[in-house]
């Protein structure tokens, strides 16, 4: 029997979680998400042109069609909202389920928690922009969410004990866009925040530490007391080390090509000393950057990053805390996410082989590689035909890898899967969910996955 949306009146499938017309959650939430077939068998392989078109369409839909950059809404005169509507609609629950969190719905504009049996509980909907980052605090007591567009985005923090939400904002500095966040402790959240509308030309953000209790910001400084600036922050589990990227010497050549010097930096918070792990010249007109989204290991001893430089090609590199190369650049196409094992000794990353597919389509299967920092060996963990991976997350007990794939047939949010950390067949877990993030101290069991 069709389910009518109470907001717009549209009829929806009886197993739908959200209205396909207005996107509002349907009644009887939380609901059990429908489960698609497991991944692992043969499926249609897209030719290169179609895959590129799919990715462009997904990006366009996610970044522009629904999440606009205009509007005049504000929050108490502080961080401007991405649209004239309320930026976030909060649906507090007595207790936020601590298993997985992710972005759900056809447009991935809802922050939700996902229980071990696959039930989805939306806790907030962002009307002004896509969900860009989700992060649990080290103790699991809080869930941070960055949502918005490149030029306007906001940081919200949810209490998992009550579902209560609070926007992280201040009159000074007035942050208009949040580039990235990383937890330093259960009550300290590091933000790379732009105080001016950012452009895609290598602007640095202010590195600010947000105290969740007091609601105050303080600058992250070096040994000389100079406030640090940069983007793409990540931190070790104990918050003792912070990795980030900085841009200096911005310039434009005679052809009008914008470039700058980019550096991958590592801060030791105890000594406030900075180690430079790498340097490169970035060319922003062609999106050529060497240190794209660096991710520090939980123990703070290694960093993985990828090189950006084309629509489909990339490479992954791992260096240690002194900048020595542990894993030589691994070439791949259609890059996706990566995730560290909780002990920091292994990292999983994905992409497609550079060599064309055997069927002549030009696109091989999605490959999951694992690099071991102790043996310095890279091995293939799994291959998934017909998959386009969006992001990865390694469970706290090290037994399971959650990954999300795009829905290539409908150009929208895809499916979240669970895969044993030893490789093998992935089990479909939740439909219309991406950006999986495990709650700390979670002990997932694949036995509880629907269809297992």
Residue 448: the pLDDT is 31
pLDDT in tens, 359-380: 555 567 899 999 999 999 999 9
283/349 Cα distance (integer angstroms): 25
How many other C-beta atoms are found inside a 10 Å radius of the C-beta of residue 14?
A: 9
Judged by DSSP in three states, 68 sits in coil
299/378 Cα distance (integer angstroms): 20
Residue 358: the pLDDT is 54
How many other C-beta atoms are found inside a 10 Å radius of the C-beta of residue 309?
A: 16
Low-confidence ranges of the chain (pLDDT < 70): 1-97, 128-129, 200, 310-313, 356-363, 408-412, 442-452
Residue 449: the pLDDT is 30
Handedness of CA 18, 439, 334, 132 (dihedral sign): positive
How many other C-beta atoms are found inside a 10 Å radius of the C-beta of residue 321?
A: 19
Model pTM? Answer: 0.78
- Cβ atoms 426, 441 nearer than 8 A: no
Structure tokens of 142? Answer: 């809080």
183/142 Cα distance (integer angstroms): 10
169/407 Cα distance (integer angstroms): 35
């Amino acid at each position: 029997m069709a389910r009518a949306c109470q907001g717009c009146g549209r009829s929806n499938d009886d197993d739908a979680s959200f209205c396909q017309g207005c996107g509002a959650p349907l009644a009887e939430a939380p609901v059990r998400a429908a489960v698609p077939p497991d991944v692992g068998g043969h499926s249609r392989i897209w030719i290169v042109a179609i895959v590129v078109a799919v990715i462009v369409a997904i990006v366009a839909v996610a970044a522009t069609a629904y999440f606009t950059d205009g509007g005049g809404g504000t929050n108490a005169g502080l961080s401007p909202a991405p649209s004239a509507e309320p930026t976030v609609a909060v649906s507090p629950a007595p207790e936020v389920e601590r298993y997985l969190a992710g972005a759900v719905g056809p447009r991935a504009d809802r922050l939700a928690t996902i229980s071990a049996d696959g039930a989805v509980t939306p806790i907030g909907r962002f009307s002004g922009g896509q969900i860009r980052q989700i992060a649990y605090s080290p103790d699991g007591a809080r869930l941070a969410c960055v949502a918005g567009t490149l030029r306007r985005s906001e940081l919200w923090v949810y209490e998992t004990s009550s579902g209560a939400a609070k926007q992280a904002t201040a009159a000074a500095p007035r942050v208009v866009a949040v580039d990235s966040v990383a937890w330093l402790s259960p009550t300290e959240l590091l933000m790379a925040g732009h105080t001016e509308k950012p452009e895609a030309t290598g602007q640095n953000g202010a590195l600010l530490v947000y105290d969740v209790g007091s609601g105050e910001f303080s600058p992250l400084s070096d040994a000389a007391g100079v406030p640090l600036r940069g983007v793409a922050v990540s931190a070790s589990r104990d918050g003792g080390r912070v990795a980030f990227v900085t841009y200096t010497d911005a310039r434009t050549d005679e052809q009008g090509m914008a470039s700058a010097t980019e550096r991958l930096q590592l801060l030791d918070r105890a000594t406030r000393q900075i180690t430079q792990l790498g340097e490169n010249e970035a060319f922003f007109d062609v999106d050529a950057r060497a240190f794209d989204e660096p991710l520090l290991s939980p123990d703070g001893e290694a960093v993985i990053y990828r090189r950006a430089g084309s629509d489909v090609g990339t490479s992954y590199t791992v260096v240690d805390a002194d900048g020595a190369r542990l894993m030589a650049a691994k070439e791949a196409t259609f890059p996706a996410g990566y995730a560290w094992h909780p002990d920091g000794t292994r990292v999983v990353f994905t992409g497609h082989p550079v060599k064309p597919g055997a069927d002549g389509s030009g696109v091989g299967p999605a490959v999951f590689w694992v690099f071991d920092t102790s043996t310095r060996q890279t091995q293939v963990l799994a291959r998934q035909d017909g998959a386009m991976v969006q992001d990865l997350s390694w469970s706290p007990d090290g037994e399971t890898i959650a990954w999300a794939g795009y829905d290539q047939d409908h150009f929208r949010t895809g499916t979240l899967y669970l895969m044993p950390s030893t490789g093998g067949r992935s089990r479909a877990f939740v439909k219309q969910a991406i950006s999986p993030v495990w709650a700390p101290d979670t002990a997932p069991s694949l036995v509880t996955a629907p269809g297992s």
